[in-house]
């Protein structure tokens, strides 16, 4: 009978560091989509005008779908996104959005929302392909395209206000 030593746990174990990197990238992607979803939800609550509310609601619904799909494909790959909180930056932005909506008009709220969406797209681009399983990477790619399209529409709407 031969003894098989356990695989060491630590930075020298390449599999361990790759798994850690994958989980970290997945978490960052999930946080970015969560932040985007919450910002869109808050904007929908504070913005005035039914057409604008409907537009933002559509964006929010798509972001919810992306987050749900990310959770599903992540779970299939052994990665969990349940209970991932929003970032501190996003919480501040939502508070700022509420304050702006009380003091000014929709244009200010849209500007804060555009900044949030640009940050989310930047984070998704940064972590795309970083040891993520291909199914997760595909969801991230789709979310990037969605967010960039939403930013374009929000920017055009903002410039008209």
Mean pLDDT of the region 20-40: 86
| Two structure tokens written together for 43 | 């904007």
Share of the chain above pLDDT 70, in %: 73
Backbone angles phi, psi at 30, to 5 degrees: -65, -40
How many C-alpha atoms does 114 have within 13 Å on its Cβ side? 15
Mean pLDDT of the region 125-132: 88
Domain ranges for the chain = 15-79+87-160
Fold of domain 15-79+87-160: Ferritin (1.20.1260)
pLDDT band at 103 (very low <50, low <70, confident <90, very high): low
Give residue 156's pLDDT.
Answer: 96
Q: Which of 20-29, 45-54, 90-99 has the highest mean pLDDT?
A: 45-54
Q: Which residues contact 79 (CB under 8 A, 6 or more apart)?
A: 22, 23, 26, 133, 136
Give residue 46's pLDDT.
Answer: 83
**In this predicted model, what pLDDT tens digit does every residue of 44-67 receive, in sequence order?**
888 888 999 999 999 999 999 999
């Amino acid at each position: 009978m031969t003894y098989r030593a356990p695989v060491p746990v630590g930075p020298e174990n390449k599999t361990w560091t790759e798994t850690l990197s994958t989980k970290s990238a997945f978490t960052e992607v999930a946080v970015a989509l969560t932040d985007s979803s919450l910002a869109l939800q808050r904007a929908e609550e504070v913005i005035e005008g039914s057409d604008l509310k409907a537009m933002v609601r559509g964006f929010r619904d798509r972001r919810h779908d992306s987050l749900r799909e990310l959770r599903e494909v992540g779970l299939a790959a052994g990665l969990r996104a349940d209970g991932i909180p929003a970032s501190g930056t996003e919480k501040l932005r939502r508070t700022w959005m509420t304050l702006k909506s009380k003091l000014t008009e929709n244009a200010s709220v849209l500007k804060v929302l555009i900044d949030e969406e640009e940050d989310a797209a930047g984070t998704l681009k940064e972590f795309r392909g970083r040891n993520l399983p291909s199914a997760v990477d595909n969801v991230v790619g789709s979310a990037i395209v969605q967010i960039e399209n939403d930013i374009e529409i929000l920017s055009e709407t903002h410039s008209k206000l």
